Structure 1
Amino acid sequence: MTDTSDTRPADSETQPPRQSQLHRLMRYIPLIAPVLLWAVPCWVLLHSGQHWPPPITLGGTALFALGLVGMPLAMARGHGRRQQDPAAIVGDTLLGTSWVLFTWSILLGVPLRLVLAVAGVDESQDRARMVTWSVLGITAVLLAWGYAEARRVPRVRRLDVQLPRLAAGLDGLRVVLITDTHYGPLDRTRWSERVCETVNTLEADLVCHTGDIADGTAARRRAQAVPLGTVRATRARVYVTGNHEYYSEAQGWVDLMDELGWEPLRNRHLLLERGGDTLVVAGVDDVTAESSGLAGHRAHLAGALNGADPELPVLLLAHQPKFVGQAAAEGIDLQLSGHTHGGQIWPFHHLVRIDQPALAGLSHHGTRTLLYTSRGTGFWGPPFRVFAPSEITLLVLRSPHLPHLDGAPDGPAHPTQAGDA
């Protein structure tokens, strides 16, 4: 028998893997992004041929420089160790404003100048100034509209979802999904009350919250979250953690939701019985839970399904859509998720799609699994929603064992496409 006690791994095995150039560049994004968000609009609006009077050029440049310096400082004070809500509001608002300015400066900068040249606007200065006023006008309209969209009570999105394994006794089960409420620096206690009032009009059998309740600890955001205790469901109210809970003492949120009468489904399940048939309602912690270092927090699907009859249909709550890979491997019937916000401020959804398999709506995965991804009920950070409306979702579960008429009052029958924008 060979003694391996003195065996040394090869040098190549002891060396940590070299970081790719892309990973090294990713470290500099927090430094590069603010510069791009403010420098590009500054150049397009002030310095690309407009020839404004010196006071306008100097004053405008100073404003952009102030945004470049002030935004990261305000966000650091607002979302860092100090948790200063006024600073967070300023930083978040500047972030949303700079993103919209940056987007439309790029989209309109060169194309509009070409269009104006073809249209016969001869002076390059005139074309440049028209671009400036167009970008500023579009930005102002989108920010005003986006703010109203973010602060309103979400519209209810209704749809039927047919699950092949759903027994007849469970047909018509009404599931309401809210998620990503993100109670935060802007006090939305009244908004929270109105959301809960809307949920209560839907006569749900099951109400689900798939995480990211708030930005901040349960003690800090308690007043905004307390209305969740008024939500009514005939069978159960269930909740799973999102990634933002793990920035803000996740166990405190689990305890508060339990206090408010919600069942925290932390890698466990409950059985929902109706009409003599049974649905397994399971939940897992967010995929970031294990890296948080909190004892017992991790996404563990096997634990969530432990003891459940494998012949029964399963409804799974998981905060992030990308958990659907594991769900599909286990043959889960329907996963409910949030996290994406539908991109929240267009065209940020293109970046979301890099990280997630679905942006919004109903999608198929594997041979059996359906995923419903909500755009979210609230908003994170910048108080704007642009081309990504918030939602409260009513899903009516349908059994293939009973006939159904298309165009039923509960909504369109059996949508199957990922996203509905």
Structure 2
Amino acid sequence: MSVDESVQARPQRRAGRVARFAATITAIVLLLYGVPWWTLLVAGNHWPAAVVAGGTVLVVAAVATFPMLMIAGHAGRRADWAARVSDTELGVVWVLFTWSVLGNLARLALGLAGVADPVRSRVVTAAVVAVAAVLLVWGYVEAMRVPRVRRVEVRLDRLGPALDGLKVVLITDTHYGPIDRARWSARVVEVMNTLDADVVAHTGDIADGEVADRRAQAAPLADVRAALARVYVTGNHEYFSGAQRWVEHMAALGWEALHNRHIVVERGGDRLVLAGVDDRTAEGSGVPGHHADHAAALAGADPALPVLLLAHQPQQIGGAVAHDVDLQLSGHTHGGQIWPFHYLVRTDQPVLQGLSRHGARTQLYTSRGTGFWGPPFRVFAPSEITLITLRRG
């Protein structure tokens, strides 16, 4: 292939990728809206024609406006009102889609049991609507509430006796965003300050938006109390929202931004390395100087000391194992946030939530997250503030 042909081929390949991506998104949107439309309005319900027509018009309008609202809310100038509408709509349609699929399985079972339409289809429709409504109301309450405290003990072989019982409070994925949660943020800090933390850690995805837009929601973090250290690393969402500005802002709030670096804390003569790496998406973000670098994070650290590493995604555990980290703290997964999305999360991440062991030395604790992303719902995936107590042996 000549140089000219190669130059001409590149735009064609990009155009092909864009077309495939657009086709995939279109297919997903049509499926998400189409299954509930068919289940609730068509199928064998035999609703009056006016009901079917009116419902169909609403569905078509939702399908047509949803992409525009998502773009307006999450790209360019990021209109918060559009993000609130589209995010809520996404959560509602996901729950309706999930339970419509399950409802159609129930429809088959009822058919085998001899129940005929329209009774069979109307029973399924009523059940899907009722279950979805209950789950959405409950899921909204769960998303907006101050998280419960989840208490975990982790034993580390190299932990010195004076550090036995050290308290680490972990928050992550606060996702300060289009819904103003400044009061929620302050209440989260109030709960954290009742836990008498030695170390407080935030493992990223602090906000969806620039510092200038989310400053009020993040402000209560300045009031977090910790006896030894407050430490923070970037998540993938920082790389949509001015990562370096968030690093600098967290430092201004009094937090140690562990941007591929470490600090050492000491109690009673025993020491612990607190290290952090950038999110794994950092290198591809184009933000100068940002990339996950375990070697840089641990450069100069005493190899005999226990290491607690902050890394946003559980998938970064490979680097922790390779560098003999004792405990990695992560978030990112949200525990799936809205069931059954956790099945998709597990295709990308080695762990969904909780404590797990990797290799001979390394343990990983994955939080379900303190806030929520996008849809203001949490279904079968409660948020958490985690109190981790380190023990010897």
Place the TM-score, normalised by the shorter chain, in its bin: over 0.9
The 5 Å alignment of 1:158-197 reads 158-197=151-190
| 2:70 counterpart of 1:75 | yes
2:107 to 99, 110, 113: 113
Deviation at 1:24, TM superposition (A): 9.0
Unaligned runs of 5+ in 1: 1-14, 401-421
| 2:359 counterpart of 1:366 | yes
Tell me, yes or no, if the aligned pair for 1:329 and 1:366 is still in contact at 8 Å: no
Q: Secondary structure at the match of 2:227?
A: coil
Describe the superposition over 1:304-341 as per-residue Cα deviations: whole angstroms up to 9, x where unpaired. Answer: 00000111110000001100011111111000000000
| 2:96 counterpart of 1:94 | no
Q: Which runs of 4+ in 1 moved over 4 A?
A: 21-27
Q: Secondary structure at the match of 1:182?
A: coil
Q: How far apart, in 2, do the equivalents of 1:303 and 1:393 lie? A: 28
Other-structure match for 1:48 = 43
Other-structure match for 1:341 = 334
* CA distance 1:155–1:141, shift in 2 (3 Å): same
Other-structure match for 1:8 = none
Q: How far apart, in 2, do the equivalents of 1:247 and 1:114 lie? A: 44
Tell me, yes or no, if the aligned pair for 2:221 and 2:253 is still in contact at 8 Å: yes
Q: How far apart, in 1, do the equivalents of 2:329 and 2:21 lie? A: 31
Q: How far apart, in 1, do the equivalents of 2:20 and 2:163 lie? A: 51
Other-structure match for 2:259 = 266
For 2:56, the aligned partner's letter is T
Tell me, yes or no, if the aligned pair for 1:100 and 1:139 is still in contact at 8 Å: yes
TM-score (norm 2): 0.94
Unaligned runs of 5+ in 2: 1-8
Q: How far apart, in 1, do the equivalents of 2:288 and 2:20 lie? A: 33
| 2:275 counterpart of 1:276 | no
How many residue pairs get aligned? The number is 385
For 1:338, the aligned partner's letter is G
Deviation at 1:290, TM superposition (A): 1.1
| 2:152 counterpart of 1:141 | no
TM-score (norm 1): 0.88
Describe the superposition over 1:52-73 as per-residue Cα deviations: whole angstroms up to 9, x where unpaired. Answer: 0011101111111122112211
Q: Secondary structure at the match of 2:271?
A: strand
Q: Cα RMSD (Å) of the superposition?
A: 2.1
Q: Secondary structure at the match of 1:355?
A: coil
* CA distance 1:343–1:22, shift in 2 (3 Å): farther
The 5 Å alignment of 1:310-329 reads 310-329=303-322
Deviation at 1:117, TM superposition (A): 3.7
Q: How far apart, in 2, do the equivalents of 1:144 and 1:34 lie? A: 23
Tell me, yes or no, if the aligned pair for 2:103 and 2:125 is still in contact at 8 Å: no
Other-structure match for 2:392 = 399
Describe the superposition over 1:81-120 as per-residue Cα deviations: whole angstroms up to 9, x where unpaired. Answer: 02100000000001001100110000111x3223434555
Deviation at 1:44, TM superposition (A): 1.1
* CA distance 1:24–1:355, shift in 2 (3 Å): farther
Q: Secondary structure at the match of 1:204?
A: coil
Deviation at 1:25, TM superposition (A): 5.7
Q: Percent identity?
A: 62
For 1:48, the aligned partner's letter is A
